[in-house]
Amino acid sequence: MHPEVGVTSADGACCGRNYFDRPAAVEMEDDEFADERAAILEEAAALKKLAADYMHPEVGVTATDATVFGRNYFNRPSAPETEDEEDAEERARVLADALALKKSAIDYMHPEVGVTSADGACCGRNYFDRPAAVEMEDDEFADERAAILEEAAALKKLAADYMHPEV
């Protein structure tokens, strides 16, 4: 396979048609535009990965290079003791607050998870199905409510698509 060699012919009756340069040929992409398109698609893929990493901080960082390492200068035996008891208690409180904020952020960023309760003492009163409740909904309101719920479902799907660009 040596396409750089070319074709030689000794017969004058040999002819061929160039299907690539004829006027009716499909427009072909130039090499520079193909390279630019490939670079744009590569950059878009990198941006998509970056967006997924930004939207899901709970995934964490993974290293695939065996030469990546770090040294902990704080836990080595020769490190000076720098934290007293008050600072340790304050740090523990700050870390507990940060953990609560992280849980709140995850709950905010993933509304599809829902709310769960583990306490058996949680209760609530249903004010809508009790015998003394007044019937409120007419047919026109039921149709309007159905339209609103349909719009809400579409908005929920749009929000889920926005919050999860990698899907």
Number of separate helices (H) and strands (E) present in the chain:
3, 0
**pLDDT for 156:** 92
| Angle at CA of residue 49, ends 47 and 54, nearest 5° | 90
Residue-wise pLDDT tens for the chain (167 aa)? 677 777 777 777 777 777 777 777 777 778 888 899 999 999 999 999 999 888 888 887 777 777 777 777 777 777 777 778 888 899 999 999 999 999 999 888 888 887 777 777 777 777 777 777 777 777 788 889 999 999 999 999 999 888 887 77
**pLDDT for 116:** 76
Question: How far, in Å, CA of 148 to CA of 93, rounded?
Answer: 44
What letter would DSSP give residue 1?
-
Q: What kind and span of H or E run contains 108?
A: helix 85-109
Question: How far, in Å, CA of 82 to CA of 91, rounded?
Answer: 13
**pLDDT for 1:** 63
**pLDDT for 101:** 94
On whether the CB atoms of residues 165 and 52 are closer than 8 A, the answer is yes
Amino acid at position 37, single letter: R
On whether the CB atoms of residues 160 and 46 are closer than 8 A, the answer is no
On whether the CB atoms of residues 49 and 57 are closer than 8 A, the answer is no
Residue 134 has which token pair? 């007044």
Question: How far, in Å, CA of 146 to CA of 162, rounded?
Answer: 24
Question: How far, in Å, CA of 146 to CA of 151, rounded?
Answer: 9
On whether the CB atoms of residues 166 and 51 are closer than 8 A, the answer is yes
